[in-house]
Structure 1
Amino acid sequence: MNTETTVTSGSLLAAAPLAALAGLVSFVSPCVLPLVPGYLSYVTGMTGADLAEQRRGRLLGGVALFVGGFTFVFVSMGAVAGGLGRWMLEYQTTIQRVLGVMTIVFGLAFMGFIPGLQRTFKSGRLPNAGIAGAPLLGVIFGLGWTPCIGPTLAAVQSLAITEASSSRGALLSVAYCVGLGLPFLLTALAYRRALGAFAAVKRHYALVMRIGGGMLVLIGIALVTGLWNEMTIQMKSFIGGFETPI
């Protein structure tokens, strides 16, 4: 499978935007958004006052290393999930339906209808504060916060398994990390404005969780009913018939 086929496959084109959106939903979830100022302070070694002064070079450097840390974790997970999907390709239809049901359950959990499925396992030992410890803190975030952002991440990994390819699974996880990591970087660029936006999101947490969970439920229904396959077939047909005008 060449790179062009991998990137332009109908299923991946359909799944990548959803994965990025899932990453954004994870960012604005109650277990991540309220802690963002703390993350930024920790990975840069700066106080809240220093952050407000917009010392962007150090702030962007620390955040980029932090994002790189959890991106490594999630992309590795995606590659493994895609590889497992390829190994289980013979049972793809059954597996896809099971994953669809699981995604629906995760969506309902994200909306708060199934208590106990959103937890955070925190490491008892953290790296030293500052830029040097930022990548390791990103890795700890990727591993320790997985149960907390599990519903959205699990939906992305379910799609990675249906891709039946390690490279596609990794690319799908990259899309998720873009959705999760880009807001961190934008926050570093405009810290004061971002705090105002965070306050607005916090006032509408119930709506955010309903929308995010509803998105996961719809993805699960599409996987269970086979609508996902039909949609990707249509996209492949569209891509195959597209010609660039001269």
Structure 2
Amino acid sequence: MSVVDTVVSGSLLVAAPLAFAAGVVSFLSPCVLPLVPGYLSYVTGLSGAELAGEPDTAAARRRGTADGDVLVEAEVSAPAARTRVLVGSVLFVLGFTAVFVAYGAAFGALGESLFRYQDQISRVLGVVVVVLGLSFLGVIPGMQREWRMHRLPKVGLWGAPLLGVLFGLGWTPCIGPTLGAVQTLAFTEASAARGALLSAFYCLGLGLPFVLVGLLYRRALGAIGWVRRHSLVVMRIGGGLLVLIGLLLVTGLWDDLTIGLRSWAGSFGVWL
């Protein structure tokens, strides 16, 4: 069965777009979005000015030889900088994708092994997702504590995938609720392959904006500022999405929804 058939033949038809949306919400969250310029600079080895396509003469002056003479290096050309940004950001995204897809495969395999109890467990996990959504909204105190890894790999393209792995392993509570909801959906898929695919959609929602911000850095700065000023709205939308998913799981409406969509998708034929 092809990837397309897998997506449209079952609950992934609704779960995959939700996972993608959860990834976008994670990117826009207050503990990820402000870090994006720093991550971009770190994984590319370029300064903020170079990311914006401007000359960075101050950085050039700081580079010196062993005897103290200033070494004036040629500025990074715009095409070379864009290529470096594209490669570095994609490598970073692939790093945390490897981690999150492994999570999805593990949760999917666990759901497959516990298939006979899946209905009961899904309802319990639905309650967990509701709690995660409420914590994302800031309703539950004490669940907004940040966990970050402070030991970083060497700056530049070589360190980009490793930094992505560290990002995946040291995710903050802002990513935790949305990722937790996606892994709950992966569990309900009762398949390692489908769970991994669902996590890949989440990573696409989280990683695609990161790459686009890097390629459109100067224009994206204004958008980043706007989102930061309206972060409360983003948190409410994300938290509401998680609470809705949790309630669907608790009430059993999630299964009814996916069965209906499966029947709807299967009713389409190919007209010759």
After TM superposition, the score normalised by the length of structure 2 is: 0.87
| Aligned positions of 1:28-67 closer than 5 A | 28-53=28-53, 55-67=81-93
* 2:8 matched residue in structure 1: 8
* 1:94 matched residue in structure 2: 120
CA contact (8 A) 1:11 1:163 kept: yes
* 1:242 matched residue in structure 2: 268
Alpha-carbon offset, residue 193 of structure 1: 1.0
Q: How many residues align?
A: 246
Corresponding letter in the other structure for 1:195: L
Q: Are 2:102 and 1:76 equivalent residues in the alignment?
A: yes
* 2:65 matched residue in structure 1: none
CA contact (8 A) 2:44 2:84 kept: yes
Q: Are 2:115 and 1:122 equivalent residues in the alignment?
A: no
| % same residue | 64
Q: Are 2:167 and 1:141 equivalent residues in the alignment?
A: yes
CA contact (8 A) 1:127 1:137 kept: yes
* 1:22 matched residue in structure 2: 22
- Distance in 2 between the 1:78 and 1:146 partners? 18
- Distance in 1 between the 2:167 and 2:96 partners? 6
Alpha-carbon offset, residue 9 of structure 1: 2.5
- Distance in 1 between the 2:150 and 2:223 partners? 31
Corresponding letter in the other structure for 1:28: L
* Cα-to-partner distance string for 1:17-48 (whole Å, 9 max, x where unaligned): 00000000000001100000000000011111
Q: 2:181 aligns with which of 127, 143, 155?
A: 155
Corresponding letter in the other structure for 2:120: T
2:11 is paired with a residue of what secondary structure? helix
Q: 2:195 aligns with which of 147, 151, 169?
A: 169
After TM superposition, the score normalised by the length of structure 1 is: 0.96
2:138 is paired with a residue of what secondary structure? coil
- Distance in 1 between the 2:238 and 2:5 partners? 30
1:10 is paired with a residue of what secondary structure? coil
- Distance in 1 between the 2:246 and 2:143 partners? 17
- Distance in 1 between the 2:16 and 2:208 partners? 15
* 1:201 matched residue in structure 2: 227
* Cα-to-partner distance string for 1:65-113 (whole Å, 9 max, x where unaligned): 0000000000000000000000110101111101100000000000111
Q: 1:109 aligns with which of 103, 111, 135?
A: 135
CA contact (8 A) 2:9 2:266 kept: no
- Distance in 1 between the 2:174 and 2:136 partners? 10
- Distance in 2 between the 1:146 and 1:166 partners? 25
* 2:216 matched residue in structure 1: 190
CA contact (8 A) 2:182 2:202 kept: yes
Return 5+ residue gaps in structure 1 as ranges. none
* Cα-to-partner distance string for 1:152-206 (whole Å, 9 max, x where unaligned): 0000000000000000000000000000000011001100111100111111111
Corresponding letter in the other structure for 2:142: G
* 2:258 matched residue in structure 1: 232
Structure (1/2) with the larger helix percentage = 1
Return 5+ residue gaps in structure 2 as ranges. 54-77
- Distance in 2 between the 1:111 and 1:192 partners? 31
- Distance in 1 between the 2:5 and 2:123 partners? 25
After superposition, the CA RMSD in angstroms is 1.4
- Distance in 1 between the 2:223 and 2:4 partners? 38
- Distance in 2 between the 1:245 and 1:101 partners? 44
- Distance in 1 between the 2:133 and 2:186 partners? 17
